[in-house]
Amino acid sequence: MTAVNLNAWLHPSFTRSRSPTFLFHGLTNFPIPIPSLTVTKSPRDKPYSSTTSFTLFTLLTKEEMLQTKEKSTFNFKSYMLHKADAVNQALDNAIPLREPLRIHEAMRYTLLVGDKSVCPVLCVAACELVRGYAATTMLAACAVEMIHTMSLIHDNLPCMDNDELCRCKPTNHKVFGRDVAALVGDALLAFAFEHIVGATIGASLSHIVHALDELMHAISTEELVGVSLSNVSLTRR
C-alpha cells in the first residue's frame, strides 16, 4: 500500500453560498466538485477559515497502480497507421478517377501513398489534442496533403531537383511526362482550397477563413516557395 500526499495539487476555493470545491492546480477549467462537508467542532477548536490546509491521502495497491499504467499506454505506431488509413480513404474519395482521366490518374498516383501521410495525420492529431473532432478537420488534413504532394511533384521536376524516385516509386514526371506533372501540381494546389471551402461541415465560417489564411501563408514566399528557392540555389552552386 502506498500513501500519496496530494496536498500540493489541490487548492480549496470557497464562496459564501457554495460548498468547498477543489481545483487541480493549472487545470482550473476542470473543477471536481466535492459534496458538502459537515465539520463538528469542539469549544476548543479554532474558527474554521479558508486558509485551512487540506491533506488528501489516496491508498493504491500495486495492482491498481499497474492497471492505471496499462490504461494510459499510448500506441503511437497504431495511432499513426489508423489515422493514415483514414486520411488516405478521404483522399481517395476526394479525387476519384474522372475526366480528364489522365490528370486525375496522375494526381492520385502521387497523392495516395498509404502509411506515409505524416502531414495530414499531424493536422488531425492537433485537432484532437484540443478536443476537436477528426471528421471536422479531415478536409483540412486532405488539403495539407494535396499541397504537400504538389510541392513534391514540382520539386522533382528536371528544372528543380531532377529526382527520379519519390515515395519509393518513380516520380510523377517519369511516369506521366513533365507537362502533365506540372499541371498535376497546379491542379492539386487549386483543389486543396476548393476542397476546404466546398465540403467542410461542422466548422464556422470564421474558422474556415482562418484555416485558408494559414495554408496560404504556409505556401508563400516566406515559407514553402522561399525554402524551395533556397534549395534550388544550393544545388546549383
The whole-angstrom separation of Cα 21 and Cα 15 is 9
- Does residue 208 share a domain with residue 109? yes
The whole-angstrom separation of Cα 148 and Cα 119 is 8
- Does residue 83 share a domain with residue 58? no
Q: What is the mean pLDDT of residues 43-47?
A: 50
The whole-angstrom separation of Cα 32 and Cα 44 is 32
Digit-coded pLDDT (tens) for 201-211: 888 899 899 99
- Does residue 167 share a domain with residue 53? no
Digit-coded pLDDT (tens) for 28-42: 344 444 444 444 555
Query: Which run of H or E residues covers position 5?
Result: strand 2-5
Number of domains in the chain: 2
Per DSSP, helices labelled H in 56-166 are: 62-71, 76-94, 101-111, 118-129, 134-156
Higher pLDDT: 196 or 232? It is 196
- Reply yes or no on whether the pLDDT at 123 is more than 80: yes
Domain stop point among 45, 71, 97: 71
**pLDDT recorded at residue 61:** 63
- Does residue 107 share a domain with residue 17? no
- Does residue 60 share a domain with residue 82? no
**pLDDT recorded at residue 72:** 62
**pLDDT recorded at residue 227:** 85
Q: What are phi and psi of 200, to 5 degrees?
A: -70, 130
- Does residue 31 share a domain with residue 136? no
**pLDDT recorded at residue 149:** 93
List of residues 6+ apart from 123 with CB closer than 8 A = 137, 140, 141, 144
**pLDDT recorded at residue 117:** 78
Pairing of β 165-166 and β 169-170: antiparallel
Phi-psi sector, 163: left (phi>0), alpha (psi -120 to 50), beta = beta
**pLDDT recorded at residue 68:** 60
Digit-coded pLDDT (tens) for 64-116: 666 666 566 889 889 998 999 999 999 999 999 999 999 999 999 999 976 56
Phi-psi sector, 167: left (phi>0), alpha (psi -120 to 50), beta = left
- Does residue 179 share a domain with residue 147? yes
**pLDDT recorded at residue 8:** 45
Domain stop point among 71, 105, 130: 71
**pLDDT recorded at residue 32:** 41
**pLDDT recorded at residue 166:** 87
Question: What secondary structure does DSSP assign to 9-73, as a single string?
Answer: TEEEE--SSS--EEEETT-TTS-EE---------TTSPPP-TT-----EEEE-HHHHHHHHHHT-
Residue 56 domain boundaries: 2-71
Residue 214's pLDDT band, with cuts at 50, 70 and 90, is very high
- Does residue 43 share a domain with residue 105? no
- Does residue 82 share a domain with residue 67? no
- Reply yes or no on whether the pLDDT at 43 is more than 80: no
Q: What is the mean pLDDT of residues 150-174?
A: 90
Query: Which run of H or E residues covers position 202?
Result: none
Domain stop point among 52, 71, 90: 71
Task: Look up the CATH number of the domain holding residue 196.
Answer: 1.10.600.10
- Does residue 210 share a domain with residue 188? yes
- Does residue 220 share a domain with residue 186? yes
Cis amide bond preceding 100, omega within 30: yes
- Does residue 116 share a domain with residue 56? no
**pLDDT recorded at residue 16:** 42
